[in-house]
Amino acid sequence: MRKFIIIVAGGKGLRMGTDIPKQFLPIGGKPVLMHTLEAFYRYDKNITMIVVLPESQQAYWNELCHNHHFVLPHKVACGGETRFHSVKNGLALVDDENGLVGVHDGVRPFVAEQVIDTCYREAEKCGAVIPVIDVVETVRHLQGNESHTVNRSEYKLVQTPQVFSVQLLKKAYMQPYCDAFTDDASVVEALGEKVFLVAGNRENIKITTPFDIKIANTLI
């Protein structure tokens, strides 16, 4: 069964306080996005990688690839108005209706190979899988000016890659856009489909702030 991964990289770096989009910031001597692609290439050299970038960033990405001698095979799709539209554009390049397709944040370079493997293997069985990790801090629910502690064991933190059968995800993305679509799982659930959970890895952080960059350089 063919495997695809859509890597969404449309960040603007606003929370980083830098003009360079966060997916292009260097860690360990090369851009975050390159580390992310390498993680999936290590998992399966035959996986079809699709990078979704705003059209205005694609020339810069090509320049970075040239400067870093980065030659891992990948396709590039244009980013859309929202993450939903970006994923939909990436799906247009997925050409095997019988395959499996994952969607991953371009700024999560530390996803474990075991997590990727588990997501694809389980998605082949059940059609829709997302990696999650436990909530380890106390959580409070805000209601107006009041708040109360909730049972954190009833909650999980969601990561990527979120992996689905191609047919299911393409069907899901035929729906009209809705503000409630915060990730791919929420789009699939809007069809009434069940999404299954597997264990993620805590190092699989989403790099969005300067502090995250410090953590990333430590992990590298």
Residues contacting 87, CB < 8 A, separation 6+: 6, 8, 52, 103, 173, 184
pLDDT at 10: 81
Please tell me the pTM assigned to this model: 0.95
| Burial class, 107, CB count within 10 angstroms (exposed 0-12 / middle 13-18 / buried 19+) | buried
Q: How far apart are CA 212 and CA 17, in angstroms?
A: 13
Distance CA 141, CA 128 (A): 29
> How far is residue 62 from each of residues 1, 66, 155, measured CA to CA in Å?
30, 6, 40
**Quick check: 100 and 123 in contact, CB under 8 A?**
yes
Per-residue model confidence (pLDDT) at position 209:
93
Q: What does the pLDDT read at residue 20?
A: 87
Query: What sections of 51-134 are H helices per DSSP?
Result: 58-67, 83-91, 113-126
> What percentage of the chain's residues is helix, strand, coil (to nearest 5)?
35, 25, 40
Q: Where are the domains of the chain?
A: 3-219
Right CATH for 3-219 from 3.40.50.2300, 3.40.50.620, 3.90.550.10, 3.40.50.300: 3.90.550.10
Specify whether the CB–CB gap between 116 and 161 falls below 8 A: yes
Q: What is the pLDDT along the chain (220 residues), one digit of tens a residue?
A: 999 999 999 866 555 556 789 999 999 999 999 999 999 999 999 999 999 999 999 999 999 999 999 999 999 999 999 999 999 999 999 999 999 999 999 999 999 999 999 999 999 999 999 999 999 999 999 999 999 999 999 999 999 999 999 999 999 999 999 999 999 999 999 999 999 999 999 999 999 999 999 999 999 9
Cβ-based neighbour number of residue 69 at 10 Å: 7
Residues 6+ away with beta carbon under 8 Å from 7: 33, 36, 37, 40, 49, 50, 51, 52, 74, 104, 105, 106
Q: Tell me the two tokens of residue 96.
A: 């095997």
Distance separating alpha carbons of residues 128 and 161, to the nearest angstrom: 11
- Distance between CA 138 and CA 175 in Å, rounded? 36
